[in-house]
Amino acid sequence: MALEAEVRAKGAAKLAALSVEQDQAQSWIEALLGNPFESPFADELKDGNVLCQVINAIKPGSIKKISTSKLAFKQMENISIFLKKAKAMGLKDKDVFDTIDLYEARDLCKVIMCIHAFGAVVQQNSGSTGFNGPFLETSVKYAASNERVFSEEQLAKQREMASGGTKMTSGSSDVMQRSEIQKTGITFGNDKSGAGSGDISAISAGSSGIMERSG
């Protein structure tokens, strides 16, 4: 029991360390679909329906029929379809989470970072796809050579999570509910560079000492 409690505590601490990224991912999805989340982050995405809608919002008609079934295997199938379509649009295997990471909430950190990586792919490919936003403002960037660039802040968070040394701060929570769509971390159309609106905040504006990794 003690070990199980420790594992849960570490998982919650890791998720708390990504609270900004989670908020930005949620805000982007809400802006894409034009609807605020009605449930906490993990619950809203669990059945895969919203994620499939995200694909269709970016590339209309990609998913012909999105299941609304309450059956577990159909909901997990929705998640799998999202991941398949996201990879077809350029997301790399190393950035993909496992279906149970979301469905059973085993690793929501991977889910959050997958959404950020996918958001970076969408923005990178916007010139060829004609998609004009909204875009997720993220420090993860996909270069033309499929290299990913991470900010020093993000690398520090990843190191912290890997060591399990992140401490939870009071007031941090893995549950976020909002009654209205927020625009934090979102760019529209020509604002994709992040310049302009005072309502837009990036994960990290600066990027001294960036590290490039092969995608």
Domains and CATH numbers, the chain: 2-214 (1.10.418.10)
44 against 190, higher pLDDT? 44
Quote the pLDDT of residue 151.
Answer: 66
Least confident interval from 39-48, 109-118, 137-146, 164-173: 164-173
Closest CA to 83 of 108, 107, 58, 111: 111
List of residues 6+ apart from 28 with CB closer than 8 A? 115, 119, 134, 135, 136, 185, 186
Q: Is it the case that residue 71 has pLDDT exceeding 80? A: yes
Angle CA(147)–CA(152)–CA(153) in degrees, nearest 5?
120
pLDDT digits (tens, 9 = 90+) for 127-153: 999 999 999 988 887 765 445 556 677
pTM above 0.85, yes or no: no
Q: Is it the case that residue 90 has pLDDT exceeding 70? A: yes
Beta strands per DSSP E along 33-146: 135-136, 141-142
Q: Is it the case that residue 214 has pLDDT exceeding 50? A: no
Check: CB of residue 72 under 8 Å from CB of residue 79.
Answer: no
Quote the pLDDT of residue 186.
Answer: 63
pLDDT digits (tens, 9 = 90+) for 168-208: 334 444 434 444 445 555 665 544 444 333 343 333 333 33
* Helix, strand, coil % over all residues of the chain, rounded to 5: 50, 5, 45
* Averaged pLDDT for residues 101-119: 97
